[in-house]
Structure 1
Amino acid sequence: MHLEIITPEKILLSAEVESVAVPGVEGEFQMLSDHEAIVSVLVKGEVKIGGNVSLAEEVKDDFTTGEDGRLEYHIKGGVLEFKNNKAIVLAD
């Protein structure tokens, strides 16, 4: 599946990933390939990215590696849209 993380300043990530977990209003949830289409409001927390993802040098400092080895990006809130194996996170 394809994941894009977009902030008001820049596109942080546009890459093929195995999974993405996001902090939804009712708790964290994860999407894998062929997930049903969804739009969700996101709350403060971590976007967790599974898979072998190469980050551009200019955004490496924006991400951390979680205890489980997944890449993580901290958001203050935002919106997620997933359809046709493409997840777009508009993050604050």
Structure 2
Amino acid sequence: MILKVISAYDILFQGEVDKVTLPGAEGTFMVLPHHASLISTLVKGEVAYEADGRQGAIEVAGGIVDVDNDVVSVCIY
């Protein structure tokens, strides 16, 4: 699946990942390949991802996420 993390100023990450963990307003949740479509707000925390056994994370102050057709689009502020 593809993860895109963007701000108003830059693309912070774009690439193929195996899973993504997001700080949702109702609690942390994980997105795996073939996840159902959803839109959620994000709170301060960490967008963590795993790709080919390697892990990465991006600190966020909040934002929104859209999951659709194996594309996870995260817009942060």
Q: TM-score range by the shorter chain?
A: over 0.9
Q: In the aligned structure 1, how far is the partner of 2:31 from the partner of 2:48?
A: 10
Residue 65 (structure 2) aligns with: 80
Residue 56 (structure 2) aligns with: 71
Q: In the aligned structure 1, how far is the partner of 2:44 from the partner of 2:52?
A: 25
* Per-residue deviation, residues 6-32 of structure 1 (Å, max 9, x unmatched): 011101111000000100011100000
> What is the TM-score when the length of structure 2 is the normalising length?
0.94
Residue 46 (structure 1) aligns with: 46
CA RMSD of aligned residues (A): 1.4
How far is 1:86 from its partner? 0.2
User: Any unmatched runs of 5+ in structure 1?
Assistant: 54-68
User: Any unmatched runs of 5+ in structure 2?
Assistant: none
| 4+ residue runs over 3 A deviation | none
Q: Is residue 18 of structure 2 the alignment partner of residue 18 of structure 1?
A: yes
Amino acid across the alignment from 1:51: A
Q: In the aligned structure 1, how far is the partner of 2:55 from the partner of 2:16?
A: 14
Q: Going by fraction, where is strand more abundant, 1 or 2?
A: 2
Q: In the aligned structure 2, how far is the partner of 1:31 from the partner of 1:41?
A: 14
Q: Going by fraction, where is helix more abundant, 1 or 2?
A: 1
- Partner of 2:59: helix, strand, or coil? strand
